[in-house]
């Protein structure tokens, strides 16, 4: 006879096995029957679609006007050179950098591989990948724009973003090469219907597999955080009808999709709600510890997207809003 439960059991074991470089296998258990796929499937989707990586989005080659051109002394034409370039994967040494331009200059005779693109700003995680063959007459001078992103963006969508003279490149950002899972039944006490999730994660070396999983988990939590925010708003309003503006003001800042650096600075400053941010002037924001200009600009952009302007709010209403937010915080504490 099946025992009555008040809540599903929570898995207590996770085993991490390193299969090879940039490839790990995780065993997580025990899950209640049916819970394994509920967790594993969305994480797999997010690993493949939402893990961020770096990729070249544009290239400028001295003396070259378009991708169907050629370079004197280089065996490959520009189109083949670009195809080879797509096989080279870059790890940016400063993880806070979102975009950078790299400059390279080679003369022949020389066989260029990924290892030759290593410099103070980037490490090449595919050093043996072939790029081009130069003879003694070759003088190859080119610039690459490297950006951070997720998924795949075709070159046609990047053309307008590039400076003049750059050829747009199809951007393959995803650093996860493989993310698969299997589910096995395991015996817990006398019940054979519990589940073990076996996750295989392999990356191209830009990020470690566990770092990729951590990022996917963060994206997963960000995506469902809106439910928690909205439920808190409903509870705090004691079932009262809330205007759309009130709902925005009482949203938590984790629904703004801020970068980790910006969010962490605000969290450490004790700021939890959008209304708190909107009530702060530029000077107050600048005084938040470690909040730089880039983060300030990002916060301004996110708040502008909300379409709420509190500049005309009188002092009494501002005070009432702060009291409501502080009351919610107090109830949560």
Q: What is the mean pLDDT of the chain?
A: 87
Within-domain flag for 272: yes
CA gap 121, 331 in Å, rounded: 48
Tell me which residue of 173, 91, 169, 83 sits closest to 132, measured CA to CA. Answer: 83
pLDDT at 284: 85
Contact 142, 101 (CB under 8 A): no
Within-domain flag for 50: no
What phi and psi, each to the nearest 5 degrees, are found at residue 24? -130, 160
Q: What is the mean pLDDT of residues 81-98?
A: 93
Confidence band for 230, pLDDT divided at 50, 70 and 90: low
pTM of the model: 0.67
Contact 89, 207 (CB under 8 A): no
pLDDT tens, 267-325?
A: 888 888 888 888 888 788 888 888 888 888 888 888 888 877 676 677 777 788 888 88
Residue 257 belongs to domain with CATH number = 1.10.150.20
Within-domain flag for 293: yes
Within-domain flag for 120: yes
List the beta bridge partners of residue 295: none
pLDDT over 50 (residue 256): yes
| Number of domains into which the chain is organized | 2
Q: Per the structure block, which two tokens stand in for 164?
A: 């003049």
Domain boundary, last residue among 128, 149, 170: 149
Q: Per the structure block, which two tokens stand in for 297?
A: 């600009």
What phi and psi, each to the nearest 5 degrees, are found at residue 98? -95, -25
pLDDT at 276: 86
In the chain, pLDDT over 70 holds for what percent of residues? 91
**What are the start-end ranges of the E strands in the chain?**
13-20, 23-31, 53-61, 90-92, 99-107, 110-113, 122-124, 130-134, 139-149, 152-153, 167-168, 171-172, 176-188, 191-203
Contact 277, 253 (CB under 8 A): yes
In the chain, pLDDT over 90 holds for what percent of residues? 57
Task: Find the largest Cα–Cα distance for the chain.
Answer: 83
Q: What is the mean pLDDT of residues 101-116?
A: 96
Within-domain flag for 136: yes
Residue 86 belongs to domain with CATH number = 2.170.120.12
pLDDT at 18: 95
Q: Euclidean distance between the first and final Cα of the chain, in Å?
A: 41
Domain boundary, last residue among 91, 121, 149: 149
CA gap 212, 46 in Å, rounded: 10
**Secondary structure, 3-state, 226-238:** HHHHHHHHHHHCC
Within-domain flag for 313: yes
Within-domain flag for 322: yes
pLDDT at 185: 94
What phi and psi, each to the nearest 5 degrees, are found at residue 86? -65, -20
pLDDT at 231: 55
The strand pair at 191-203 and 176-188 is best described as antiparallel
Window from 197-201, 213-217, 222-226 with minimum mean pLDDT? 222-226
Q: Which residue has the tokens 């670009």?
A: 82
pLDDT over 50 (residue 106): yes
Within-domain flag for 221: no
Domain extent, residue 295, equals 237-332
Q: What is the mean pLDDT of residues 101-121?
A: 96
Domain boundary, last residue among 127, 149, 171: 149
């Amino acid at each position: 006879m099946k025992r009555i439960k008040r809540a599903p059991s929570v898995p207590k074991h996770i085993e991490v096995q390193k299969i090879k470089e940039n490839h790990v296998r995780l065993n997580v258990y025990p899950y209640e029957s049916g819970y394994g796929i509920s967790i594993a499937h969305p994480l797999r989707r997010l690993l493949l679609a939402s893990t961020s990586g770096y990729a070249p989005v544009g290239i400028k080659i001295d003396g070259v006007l378009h991708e169907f051109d050629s370079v004197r002394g280089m065996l490959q034409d520009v189109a083949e050179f670009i195809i080879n370039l797509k096989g080279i994967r870059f790890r940016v040494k400063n993880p806070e950098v979102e975009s950078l331009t790299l400059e390279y200059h080679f003369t022949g005779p020389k066989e260029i591989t990924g290892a030759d693109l290593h410099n103070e700003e980037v490490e090449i995680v595919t050093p043996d990948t072939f790029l081009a063959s130069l003879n003694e007459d070759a003088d190859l001078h080119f610039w690459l724009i490297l950006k951070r992103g997720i998924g795949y963006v075709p070159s046609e969508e990047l053309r307008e973003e590039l400076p003049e003279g750059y050829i747009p490149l199809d951007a393959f950002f995803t650093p996860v090469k493989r993310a698969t899972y299997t589910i096995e039944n395991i015996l817990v006490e006398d019940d054979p219907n519990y589940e073990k999730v076996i996750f295989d994660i392999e990356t191209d070396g830009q990020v470690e597999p566990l770092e990729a999983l951590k990022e996917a988990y963060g994206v997963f939590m960000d995506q469902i955080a809106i439910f928690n925010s909205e439920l808190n708003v409903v509870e705090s309003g004691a079932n009262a009808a809330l205007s759309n503006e009130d709902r925005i003001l009482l949203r938590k800042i984790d629904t703004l999709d801020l970068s980790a650096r910006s969010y962490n600075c605000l969290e450490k400053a004790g700021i939890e709600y959008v209304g708190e941010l909107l009530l702060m002037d530029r000077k107050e924001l600048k005084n938040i510890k470690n909040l730089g200009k880039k983060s300030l600009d990002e916060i301004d952009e996110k708040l502008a997207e909300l379409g709420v302007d509190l500049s005309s709010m009188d002092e009494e209403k501002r005070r009432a809003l702060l009291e409501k937010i502080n009351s919610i915080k107090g109830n949560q504490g």
